Amino acid sequence: MATLRGTLVIGQSGGPTAVINASLAGMLSEARQHSEIERVYGLVNGIKGALAENLSDLTNEDADTIRALERTPGAALGSCRRKLKADDYDRLFQVLEAHDVRYFLYAGGNDSMDTCHRMREEANRRGYALQVMGVPKTIDNDLAFTDHCPGYGTAARFIAQTTQDTGLDLFALRTFVQVCITEIMGRNAGWLTAAAILGKQRDGDAPHLVYVPERVFDEEKFLSDVERVYKQLGFVSVAISEGAHDEKGEPIGVSSAPTDAFGHKVVALGHGVGHYLADRVTKRLRLAARCNRPGTIQRVSSAHYSQVDIDEAVVVGAAAVRQAISGDDGYMVTLVRSPEATYSCQTGLAKLADVANAERFLPDGFITPDGTGITAAFRDYALPLIGEPLPAPARLSGRMVKRIV
């Protein structure tokens, strides 16, 4: 097959991350290496930009800006959550054809890979020559067929570091606040919540209880878990996924959350499970409890950049362009971990059709049997992804002075 010549468009979709712009930087840098790519356009707000013909010309974006994108959180092109409908396609392909678009690169999570997949199927149906490639992006780390997703490492570092930091805070406060619950993003998958353990060095360190949505959440068991840890340590640090749910799948403590374009309940827009449970702990156990809900801070915290995450995000972006030019089509770029002891990843490919319909959950081996902890196997998996080792806090020797009065 002859290499296509024409315009390459790039879209960003779904929730922003700290490194989706690093993938954009990788795509922009790589695109200018290939004479087949005559123009590079950005879709303003993802697929919505294509429908509205809102295209931003990135062909001559300057090198300094591209480099700065590697450490710019958010989604510089603007994002969207828009599910493609049957009557969108005429307009969509009219715009693509008018701008001679031959390469369509889209960065996002499962829903975005679904969009990519539909685009590609429709292009085939119409006999429109278009190379479609997906670029993985999600702090949730729930895309299948890839070792992990760019965006996860930095968000995981935020969660690991702030759990360590706030654990020290709670330890200091324990005479007047005993329980701190941090509500962490992840509706269905507990990858990010599990990262709370990555700063833990000793048994008594935070977090003491971790609840992921892979397990049914039982409020009574939770209260007895908290009480048990409190009796043992005098303070309790809890990490819980925003998607905590009961056996019917109903979110805990969230009555009126709205749903998004993909039909998912957006619990993040309600009061959340963390505040609900802090309230329950206060009322039922008579312990002072508070809730930290970092919200969007956790996915875009530029002070917590994992260099590994940035580098990999750049690499998957560049790989998407290179593979598309070489004739691959209908794939998402993946990260494939080397079996060597020293961590490294190469890129690979997974079919969009496969990725779009899969969601990857924490395997059983990463969750302790009692459902309140995360295993060493997870630590081995995740620690290389957060970059530099976390700094170790000072520990006073703590020799107590003999009482004399």
Please identify, among the stretches 106-114, 207-215, 315-323, 389-397, the one whose residues bind a second copy according to the rule CB under 8 A: 389-397
Please identify, among the stretches 37-45, 145-153, 327-335, 362-370, the one whose residues bind a second copy according to the rule CB under 8 A: 37-45
State which residue, 61 or 140, has the beta carbon closest to a second copy.
Answer: 61
Sites for a second copy among residues 123-182 (CB under 8 A): 158, 161-162, 164-166, 168-177, 180, 182
Which strands make up the sheet holding 236-241, listed edge to edge?
A: 179-184, 236-241, 209-211
- Residue that is written with structure tokens 């290389």 in the block: 384
Residue numbers annotated as active site: 140
Alpha-carbon gap, residue 279 to 266, rounded angstroms = 21
Sites for a second copy among residues 177-216 (CB under 8 A): 177, 180, 182
How many C-beta atoms surround the C-beta of residue 11 within 10 A?
Answer: 30
**Contact between residue 115 and residue 352 where contact means Cβ atoms under 8 Å apart:** no
Sites for a second copy among residues 300-329 (CB under 8 A): 300-304
Q: Shortest CA distance to 141 belongs to which of 372, 293, 345, 362?
A: 362
Sites for a second copy among residues 5-24 (CB under 8 A): 12, 15-16, 18, 21
State which residue, 121 or 169, has the beta carbon closest to a second copy.
Answer: 169
Residue 230 CB, shortest distance to a second copy, in Å, is: 16
Alpha-carbon gap, residue 243 to 211, rounded angstroms = 10
State which residue, 34 or 275, has the beta carbon closest to a second copy.
Answer: 275
Binding mask 221-260 for a second copy (x = CB under 8 A): -------------------------------------x-x
- The DSSP H or E segment spanning 157 is helix 152-173
Residue 364 CB, shortest distance to a second copy, in Å, is: 31
In sequence order, the 6+-apart residues with CB closer than 8 A to the CB of 341 are none
Sites for a second copy among residues 334-373 (CB under 8 A): none
Alpha-carbon gap, residue 347 to 377, rounded angstroms = 23
Binding mask 263-302 for a second copy (x = CB under 8 A): -----xx-xx--x--xx--x-----xxxxxxxxxx-xxxx
State which residue, 176 or 247, has the beta carbon closest to a second copy.
Answer: 176
Tell me the residue type at 383: L
Q: What is the dihedral of CA 334, 309, 81, 31, to 10 degrees?
A: -70
CA torsion sign, 60 to 62 to 67 to 71? Answer: negative
| Among residues 34, 36, 56, 347, the one that binds a second copy under rule CB under 8 A | 56
CA end-to-end span of the chain: 90
Residue 389 as a binder of a second copy (CB under 8 A): the answer is no
Residue 211 CB, shortest distance to a second copy, in Å, is: 18
Chain mean position to CA 219: 27
Q: What is the dihedral of CA 251, 109, 333, 308, to 10 degrees?
A: -80
Residue 110 as a binder of a second copy (CB under 8 A): the answer is no
**Contact between residue 300 and residue 281 where contact means Cβ atoms under 8 Å apart:** no
Alpha-carbon gap, residue 153 to 14, rounded angstroms = 17
Sites for a second copy among residues 65-94 (CB under 8 A): 65-66, 68-69, 71-82, 94
| Among residues 83, 99, 221, 379, the one that binds a second copy under rule CB under 8 A | 99
Residue 401 CB, shortest distance to a second copy, in Å, is: 4
State which residue, 281 or 345, has the beta carbon closest to a second copy.
Answer: 281
Residue 365 CB, shortest distance to a second copy, in Å, is: 30
State which residue, 66 or 113, has the beta carbon closest to a second copy.
Answer: 66
Q: What beta strand segments (E) does 67-161 contain?
A: 101-108, 131-136
Residue 173 CB, shortest distance to a second copy, in Å, is: 6
Residue 321 CB, shortest distance to a second copy, in Å, is: 18
Binding residues with a second copy: total (CB under 8 A):
97
